[in-house]
Structure 1
Amino acid sequence: MNIRSLILFSVSLVITVILAGFFGSVQAQFFWNTDFEYGVYKSQPRKWAIEGEGYKYSAHLDSTISKSGKKSLFMRLDRAQVYTILTVPGKISAGNILRVQGYTKAGVSDSLNAQLILFNPSEGGIIASESIKMTSNKWNPTTLRASIPANYNADNLLIALMASGSGSFWFDNVRIKINDTVYGNDAPDFREPDKEEIELLNNKVYPFSVGAGDDARTKLKELSKIVENKRIVALGENSHGSASIYKLKLRMIQHLVEDKQFSVFALEMPAVEATYINEYVKNETDDLDEVITKLSYPSWQSREMLDIIEWIRVYNNQHNRQVSFMGYDMQNGWSALGAIAEFSTRYDSTLHSILKNIEGLYQTALETGNAAPALFTQTREASTYLNTHKYPDVTPHQLATIRHFMDIFNQSISLQFGTENARSRDEYMAKNIRWIIEHIPDTAKIILSADNTHITKSGGKTGAFLDRWYQDDYLSFGFTFEEGTYAAYGNKPFYEVHPSYVGTYEYLFSKSDYDHFFLDLREADDIPMLNQPAGFRAIGSRPQETTQFYQIQLKKHFDVIVYLRTSRHTSPLNK
């Protein structure tokens, strides 16, 4: 995996962070734990996010060896890639010289490679990088210097230490200078919530039960007040493997469909595969095995996701007003190309011949990892042909859908092979959601379901585009929990939810008198701890056994928080 791929991978695991900049002429205070003196659960460093992939890796604070202070960060890799990431505000960096210096010392450096990198997460670009020299039993400094453009407008800038291979090393004594001023060494910014804040929280939340059945649904009545007349309601999740979240989502979907007349459920899954599931929920097919197959992401192949699908199917069978099931992801190019090829077999032999050539070029690109220019040229030609050709025997909706699938194939190959005009996955998903909205009745309302990091209103994420395009019609719900278990892509049936700690939003929420609640952040300006950055749990689809919390400014990401005391892991359909 090359450096660009590694950093893009790391960014996909990190929630966009927005910190305060300057207020008038007074400099804000920044505590970044640059000496690794402050740790939390499992000796993980505050403020830093540690993510990785590969065979095996570990990271923890070490109190036996340090360059300065009493601790350093120790990392051990076995055929893995690990990313240690600190987020700094883009506002204070723009137009200035940024210098980052850190010290490393190798323990065992069998095949270690490492770099310091500055990265723009909004545009997906590396600003600067510097190789790190690993030496056993000696602290070596590495200095990275970059001039940040004055027009740098990303919310933040990432400082990352990237290591790959096998071996072990220590990292310590990081110094960050913007021009000649040292940043990140201010006093710690975390504290216990006070009694008044907890009382304010209790007065602001909308508690609910986590039972099942009709009685439990009536206890979500405050949801109608929160949603009001919004047309697009996005339900997030901090883990793709929490049964507790999906069971609550089902209740919320039931409420929104039955009480607020929502008629589209759109999931973070490939758009083409979702059309088969839509046929199932519309009672046009009875092939449940095919439905399970089309739930192509393993995270969705759970009993809890199937419960959502089955409820929509039963509802549609009993009501004239139908609920559609749709997808908006674009990572599976083959399924999009296959749907267009099936269409061409029936309606257009010329298009079919063009697609045969594209299929061969695409297969070669996947096998070699490099796409020939002809793949993009012929795909553009096929798009132009499909968009201009007339099909009198095809319904307008069917034709619009096939043209949409052609767009999805274009999106997929552009992202996969990094074309010059490629956009991010989040922007493509936002555009595909916009396509859905443009092809449903003006009065129809849509429920979105995706990871918190996609529905967020911050940065270059899907929710940020939707919030910009639809403004007051868009409402985002961020989901989180305090304890329990979750399922993930790994070799264990489930994983541990790390306890929250002082300096995280979940720690504040855990002090509430209520175990489960909605918190409308638009009405919570008088709770001081919600007006400042803090840690917020983010797990996603992979096991997070090191870092589970990332610094964010909660109100800039979500309109409403859904808090559950306990999470239980999902039940896979294949076990």
Structure 2
Amino acid sequence: MLKPIKWLFTAMLLCIITNLASAQTDLTEAIDKQLIPLTTTDPGDDLSDLAKLKPLLKDKTIIGIGEATHGTHEFFTMKHRMLQFLVKEMSIKTFVIEGDMAGTEYMNNYVLNSKGDLNAGIYGMGLGVWMRQEFVDMVNWVKAYNATQTPENKVRFYGCDMQYGTFAIKILKDELSRLGRFTPEMEAGAPGFNKYTPSLTGKEKAAMRNTVAKLAEVKFTDGDTALFNRCVRELQQVTGYIDAASTFFPAKQDEYRDKCMAENVEYLNNHTGQNKMMLWAHNAHIGKNDGSDGRKRMGMWLSPNFKDKYYAMGFDFNAGSMLSYDGKLHKNVAVEMPVAKTGSSGAVFAQCSVPNFILDFKTASADPVINTFLNASIPSSFYGASYSTGETPHYVTHKLAAAYDAMIFIRDTRPSMEIK
């Protein structure tokens, strides 16, 4: 009696496996018909493989481009390619990155006016994850491109982040000291903006808030008044960010940061008057839906404000390695990444016939098989600046179509490079 039951169970299992394999084949075959193959992930003069993006992006105001880790070589180089394409083919002149808003002024002066130096520009970004050779190569491309352009056609470089007040307070102090208007009350709270925020005392925080209040009373009439006023606003955001820190509700501070970044992106869109920009940040920040991350991110503020004028492109991968910060060794090390788990978006995309590609979700959703896939809750790789071998892989569960407008997929990855 047991033998027939065993054979029946085996037959049913084989049937299920066969059906799943068939469904998987149907999906990947459907995706193969819709994807845009990438001939390379390296920046260069030949951008012809990206030409199909033109009709998709021509009416977009903000093109947000994410990354599934902060330490992947191909993510950096492909974003460099995308910037080249958007500048040369789509007339985009505004580049905005997840970097300190005031501090990136040093980088803007470097690429726009050849003033200052690259190291000061990198330091002004305020985030160590951009200290990569691939990023330096992109910056130098922007600088070289600008050297061939008339002023109105040059690419401007901006930041939208606001976690630190170091650069904003320096810019304001230098300007007001030059005019003899930096008062003792302003000075009292200034040192706090140069300290590690968790170490700040209640007295220091109060002094910082008072400094910001006094700076907000200043009427700037000379020099770069827009920059000075924006520095004041950034310091207001910084003090709000510090006050939002919560042991019991850690998402509160993260959400405050993303709300401020969205505000800064919207300001830059209005300030530049270009009505087109490339926005560089992590997948988490550019996404339109939080999924299992559980936080309201920048893209979730931008999407309802800009509606279909905001186009979010996520990144995904199957396997490879990344440059990761090792907290024990206090340095960056190359680590192997876990292969994308079965059922994840990376594992599905890895079965396609093309190793590296772009998939526009709106176009692809015309196929019911792809539409079902894009609107199902599935996991996607979700790494930041660090990952340790043996650590539980990082995933976010979400609906791809709700989170992004497109996906850039790289099957096999390498670690990004330290600055030479």
Match for 2:161: what amino acid?
A: D
Kindly indicate whether residue 285 of structure 2 is the aligned counterpart of residue 285 of structure 1.
Answer: no
**Counterpart in the other structure of 1:375:** 207
Across the aligned residues of Structure 1 and Structure 2, the Cα RMSD in angstroms comes to 2.4
Structure 1 residue ranges without an equivalent (≥5) = 1-189
Partner of 1:251: 81
Q: Which residue of 1 aligns with 2:242?
A: 416
Q: Give a deviation string over 1:240-267, Cα, whole Å, max 9, x none.
A: 1111111111111101001100001111
CA displacement at 1:514 relative to structure 2: 0.7
Match of 2:306 in 1: 470
Indicate conservation of the 8 Å contact 1:482/1:565, yes or no: yes
Q: State the partner residue of 2:156.
A: 324
Change in 2 beyond 3 A, CA 1:191/1:529: farther
- Give 1:290 shift: 2.2
* Whole-angstrom CA distance in 1 between matches of 2:112 and 2:58: 27
Q: Does 1:205 find its partner at 2:35?
A: yes
Alpha-carbon distance in 2 for matches of 1:413, 1:191: 53
Partner of residue 91, structure 2: 261
**Letter of the 1:384 counterpart:** A
Partner of 1:375: helix, strand, or coil? helix
Are the counterparts in 2 of residues 351 and 382 from structure 1 also a CA contact under 8 Å?
A: no
- Whether 1:501 and 2:341 are equivalent positions in the alignment is yes
Query: For the structure 1 residues 366 and 229, does the alpha-carbon distance in structure 2 shift closer, same or farther, using more than 3 Å as the test?
Result: closer
**8 Å Cα contact 1:209/1:216 also seen in 2:** no
Question: Is structure 2 residue 202 aligned with structure 1 residue 358?
Answer: no
Matched, 1:547 2:393: yes
Superposed displacement of residue 289, structure 1:
3.0
Deviation at 1:361, TM superposition (A): 5.8
Q: How far did 1:286 drift?
A: 5.1
The answer to whether residue 266 in structure 2 is matched with residue 434 in structure 1 is yes
C-alpha distance in structure 2 between counterparts of 1:368 and 1:479, whole Å: 35
Alpha-carbon distance between aligned partners in 1 of 2:39 and 2:121, rounded to the nearest angstrom: 31
* 2:232 matches 1:406: yes
Q: Check whether the contact 1:361–1:374 (CA below 8 A) recurs between aligned residues.
A: no
Using the alignment, how far apart are the partners of 1:390 and 1:406 within structure 2? 11
Specify the structure having the higher radius of gyration (Cα).
Answer: 1
**1:486–1:497 Cα contact (<8 Å) kept:** yes
Q: Which residue of 2 aligns with 1:227?
A: 57
Q: Residues 190 and 211 of structure 2 are in contact (CA less than 8 Å); yes or no, is this contact kept in structure 1?
A: no
Q: Which runs of 5+ in 2 are unaligned?
A: 1-18, 247-251, 291-295
Secondary structure at the counterpart of residue 210 of structure 1 = coil
- What's the counterpart of residue 560 of structure 1? 406
Contact 2:216-2:232 within 8 A present in 1 as well: no
Q: Shift of the alpha carbon at 1:518?
A: 0.8
What is the rounded CA distance, in whole Å, between the counterparts of 1:298 and 1:329 in structure 2? 13
Letter in 2 for 1:469: N
Q: Give the Å deviation of 1:430.
A: 0.7
Aligned length in residues: 377
1:428 is paired with a residue whose SS is helix
Q: Measure, in 2, the Cα distance between the counterparts of 1:419 and 1:507.
A: 37
Asked if the contact 1:242–1:570 (Cα under 8 Å) also holds between the matched residues in 2, the reply is yes
What code does the residue aligned with 2:316 have? T
1:447 and 2:273 matched: no
1-structure distance, mates of 2:148, 2:194? 44
Pair 1:286–1:368, CA change in 2 (3 A) = closer
What's the counterpart of residue 125 of structure 1? none
- The structure in which a higher percent of residues are strand is 1
Task: Give the distance between the partners of 1:559 and 1:367, measured in 2 at CA.
Answer: 37
CA–CA distance in structure 2, aligned partners of residues 531 and 335 of structure 1? 43
**Counterpart Cα distance in 2 of 1:434 and 1:401:** 15
Secondary structure at the counterpart of residue 517 of structure 1: strand
Q: Where does residue 378 of structure 2 map in the other structure?
A: 534
Distance 1:211 1:385 in 2: 49
Is 1:489 the counterpart of 2:352? The answer is: no
Deviation string, structure 1 residues 300-359 (Cα, Å, up to 9, x no partner)? 111000011001101100111110011111111222111111111123x34443321222
Q: How does 1:58-97 map to 2 (within 5 A)?
A: none
Q: Which residue of 1 aligns with 2:171?
A: 339
| Matched position secondary structure for 2:102 | helix
Name the CA shift for 1:242/1:214 in 2 (closer, same or farther; >3 Å): closer
Does the 8 Å contact 2:237/2:260 carry over to 1? yes
1:406 Cα deviation from its structure 2 partner: 1.1
Q: Distance in 1 between matches of 2:333 and 2:72?
A: 12
Is contact 2:190–2:208 with CA below 8 Å preserved after alignment? no
**Offset of residue 283 of structure 1:** 3.0
Change (3 A) 1:338 1:216: same
Task: Identify the residue that residue 311 of structure 1 maps to in structure 2.
Answer: 141
Residue 299 of structure 1 contacts residue 488 of structure 1 at CA under 8 Å; is this kept in 2? no
Distance 1:361 1:426, change over 3 A: closer
Q: Give secondary structure in 1 for the equivalent of 2:272.
A: coil
| Residues 91-110 of structure 1 deviation map (CA, whole Å, 9 limit, x = unaligned) | xxxxxxxxxxxxxxxxxxxx
Preserved contact between residue 192 and residue 208 of structure 2 (Cα < 8 Å): no
CA distance in 1, matches of 2:115, 2:194: 31
Match of 1:114? Answer: none
522, 544, 550: which is aligned to 2:362? 522
Distance between the aligned counterparts of 1:231 and 1:340, measured in 2? 31
* Residue 88 (structure 1) aligns with: none
Q: Deviations over 1:527-569 (max 9, x none)?
A: 1322211110011112153222221111111000000111111
Counterparts of 2:113 and 2:195, CA distance in 1: 39
8 Å contact kept, 1:263–1:444: no
